[in-house]
């Protein structure tokens, strides 16, 4: 696949650090939109592109003439605007973009330090891009390197030790704020990944036997409920179930709010935890004086002890990243001049063939086989000398490549 020389490798995006949940929701990319972005990028001639969209971040990695091309692509397929994006975004180019992806993929840039959920998103995104034909060798190799680093950090450090997931944080919050929690009614609306994890944590830590599940697709709720011996109610009954519960956990993952004040007919206090991005609980519920609404941004705080221990593992994680990144960067650097060395070798081989042919006509007992062996050895030594020079040409590699191309009149061969 060809990478246009006028293109650069960019990482553009926004995350929890500068963009609140509402803004992140504007740029949240559904599964359908992710596929549409990849297709649109391909139609526009993009050589390579992949993306990540979680509750805490939305990012696009790809080759483009400018970062603006990727920003426009993102805004065309989300509810966000370019102006809104520019206020809270970050843009990385070249080596900085590579470094950023390593930090993101290994959990060092996560809202919860050591959260490795992102790596599955990266894998899925890379597979989707490759299937669509918009994943060049550079990005495929980079993605594999990040996955390798992530795996090593997870296995060789304790940076993910201790329970700090959003679902665990939700349960911790409930246990800290709701007295006699084991006797309270808890309603879980939505049983995606976060919903299932929350369900498991609720059962494990609260010893509560009054947990009810509701899901738009009832059969999915029944599958989860079967594992834990929980009650499942019809979605049609959600209004009466909310009225009867003490704690409502919303993990529906919809693009628009699924809970609003119109559903609330309350006679007792209700704690609502919204674990969704975009927000799935309308702010209008706060108009009801019996409601306390907590969003996952407020839950994504880990205990000081756990965080302190995880932070102590950062230097070891960074060492692993440096090892894997060095290997990738060496490959990447060599790849930039490999086509030039290949073209040089081909040029010298053409000269060799011309000279051997010339000598064959001039000398009656010319030893062509011996001449071939000697010439090939000389070509190998010359190209190796040039390759070693280019490996050590820090900051001047492209100048050296241009000079070699000029001296030997090589055709442009830096496409791969």
Measured distance CA(281)–CA(165) in Å, rounded:
20
Kindly state the average pLDDT of the residues 322-338. 86
**pLDDT confidence tier of residue 304, bands split at 50, 70 and 90:** low
Residue 154 has pLDDT above 50, yes or no: yes
Kindly state the average pLDDT of the residues 169-173. 79
Q: Which helix (H) or strand (E) holds 292?
A: strand 291-295
Instruction: Please tell me the predicted confidence (pLDDT) of residue 231.
Output: 87
Q: Give the CA distances from residue 231 to residues 115, 196, 248, 266, in Å, rounded to whole numbers and listed in that order.
A: 31, 14, 15, 21
Measured distance CA(399)–CA(389) in Å, rounded:
12
Instruction: Please tell me the predicted confidence (pLDDT) of residue 152.
Output: 94
Residue 108 has pLDDT above 80, yes or no: yes
Which range has the top average pLDDT, 19-33, 148-162, 318-332, 402-416? 318-332
Residue range 358-371, pLDDT digits in tens: 998 899 888 989 98
Residue 76 has pLDDT above 90, yes or no: yes
Which range has the top average pLDDT, 14-23, 124-133, 302-311? 124-133
**pLDDT confidence tier of residue 414, bands split at 50, 70 and 90:** very low
Instruction: Please tell me the predicted confidence (pLDDT) of residue 134.
Output: 95
Among residues 89, 109, 8, 120, the alpha carbon closest in space to that of 321 is found at 109
Residue with the bigger pLDDT between 151 and 182: it is 151
Instruction: Please tell me the predicted confidence (pLDDT) of residue 301.
Output: 58
For 262-313, where are the alpha helices, taking DSSP H only?
Answer: 296-299, 304-312
Kindly state the average pLDDT of the residues 227-249. 90
> How far is C-alpha 29 from the geometric centre of its chain's CA atoms?
13
Instruction: Please tell me the predicted confidence (pLDDT) of residue 3.
Output: 43
Q: Which residues contact residue 367 at a Cβ distance below 8 angstroms, ignoring those fewer than 6 apart?
A: none
Catalytic: which of 11, 12, 41, 55?
55
Q: Is the pTM of this model over 0.75?
A: no
Name the DSSP class of 118.
H
Kindly state the average pLDDT of the residues 34-39. 94
Beta-bridge partner residues of 215: none
Annotated catalytic, 55? Answer: yes
CB 142 within 8 A of CB 101: yes
Measured distance CA(307)–CA(160) in Å, rounded:
10
Residue range 191-237, pLDDT digits in tens: 877 788 888 888 877 777 788 999 888 888 888 777 777 888 999 99
Instruction: Please tell me the predicted confidence (pLDDT) of residue 103.
Output: 95
Q: Is 75 exposed, middle or buried (0-12, 13-18, 19+ CB in 10 A)?
A: middle
Kindly state the average pLDDT of the residues 396-404. 76
CB 187 within 8 A of CB 212: yes
Residue range 374-391, pLDDT digits in tens: 989 998 898 888 878 877
Q: Give the CA distances from residue 38 to residues 107, 130, 227, 277, in Å, rounded to whole numbers and listed in that order.
A: 25, 10, 37, 22
Instruction: Please tell me the predicted confidence (pLDDT) of residue 230.
Output: 84
CB 26 within 8 A of CB 53: no
How does the average pLDDT of the chain come out, rounded?
86
Instruction: Please tell me the predicted confidence (pLDDT) of residue 395.
Output: 61
Instruction: Please tell me the predicted confidence (pLDDT) of residue 4.
Output: 44
> How far is C-alpha 25 from the geometric centre of its chain's CA atoms?
17
Q: Which residues contact residue 274 at a Cβ distance below 8 angstroms, ignoring those fewer than 6 apart?
A: 250, 259, 280, 281, 293, 294, 295, 296
Measured distance CA(346)–CA(279) in Å, rounded:
60
Residue 256 has pLDDT above 60, yes or no: yes
Q: Is the peptide bond before 278 cis (omega within 30 degrees of 0)?
A: yes
DSSP string, 24-54: HHHT---HHHHHHHHHHHHHTT-S-EEEEE-
Residue 415 has pLDDT above 50, yes or no: no
């Amino acid at each position: 696949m060809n990478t246009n020389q006028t293109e650069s490798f960019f990482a553009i995006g926004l995350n929890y650090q500068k963009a609140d949940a509402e803004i992140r929701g504007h740029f949240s990319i559904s599964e359908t939109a992710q596929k549409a972005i990849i297709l649109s990028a391909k139609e526009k001639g993009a050589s390579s592109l992949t993306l990540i969209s979680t509750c805490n971040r939305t990012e696009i990695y790809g080759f483009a003439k400018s970062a603006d091309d990727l920003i426009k692509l993102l805004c065309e397929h989300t509810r966000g605007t370019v102006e809104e994006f520019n206020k809270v975004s970050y843009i990385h180019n070249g080596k900085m973009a590579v470094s950023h992806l390593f930090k993101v993929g290994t959990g060092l840039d996560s809202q919860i330090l050591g959260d490795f959920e992102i790596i599955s998103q990266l894998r899925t995104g890379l597979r989707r891009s490759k299937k669509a034909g918009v994943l060049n060798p550079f990005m495929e190799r980079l993605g594999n390197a990040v996955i390798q680093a992530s795996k090593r950090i997870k296995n060789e450090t304790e940076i993910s030790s201790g329970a700090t997931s959003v679902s665990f944080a939700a349960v911790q919050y409930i246990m800290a704020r709701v007295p006699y929690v084991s006797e309270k009614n808890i309603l879980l609306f939505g049983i995606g990944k976060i919903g299932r994890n929350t369900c498991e944590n609720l059962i494990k830590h609260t010893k509560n036997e009054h947990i009810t599940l509701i899901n738009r697709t009832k059969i999915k709720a029944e599958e989860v409920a079967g594992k834990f011996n929980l009650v499942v109610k019809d979605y049609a009954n959600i209004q009466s179930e909310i009225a009867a519960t003490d704690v409502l956990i919303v993990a529906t993952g919809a693009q628009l709010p699924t809970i609003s004040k119109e559903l609330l007919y309350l006679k007792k206090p209700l704690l609502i935890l919204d674990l969704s991005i975009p927000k799935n609980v309308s702010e209008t519920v706060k108009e009801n004086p019996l409601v306390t609404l907590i969003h996952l941004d407020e839950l994504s705080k880990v205990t000081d002890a756990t965080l302190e221990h995880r932070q102590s593992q950062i230097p070891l994680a960074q060492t692993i990243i440096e090892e894997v990144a060095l290997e990738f960067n060496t490959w990447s650097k060599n790849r930039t001049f490999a086509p030039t060395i290949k073209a040089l070798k081909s040029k010298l081989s053409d000269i060799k063939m011309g000279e051997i042919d010339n000598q064959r006509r001039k000398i009656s007992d010319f030893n062509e086989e011996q001449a071939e062996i000697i010439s090939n050895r000389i070509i190998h030594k010359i190209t190796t000398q040039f390759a070693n020079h280019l490996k050590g040409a820090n900051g001047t590699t492209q100048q050296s490549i241009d000079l070699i191309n000029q001296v030997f009149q090589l055709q442009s061969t830096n496409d791969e």
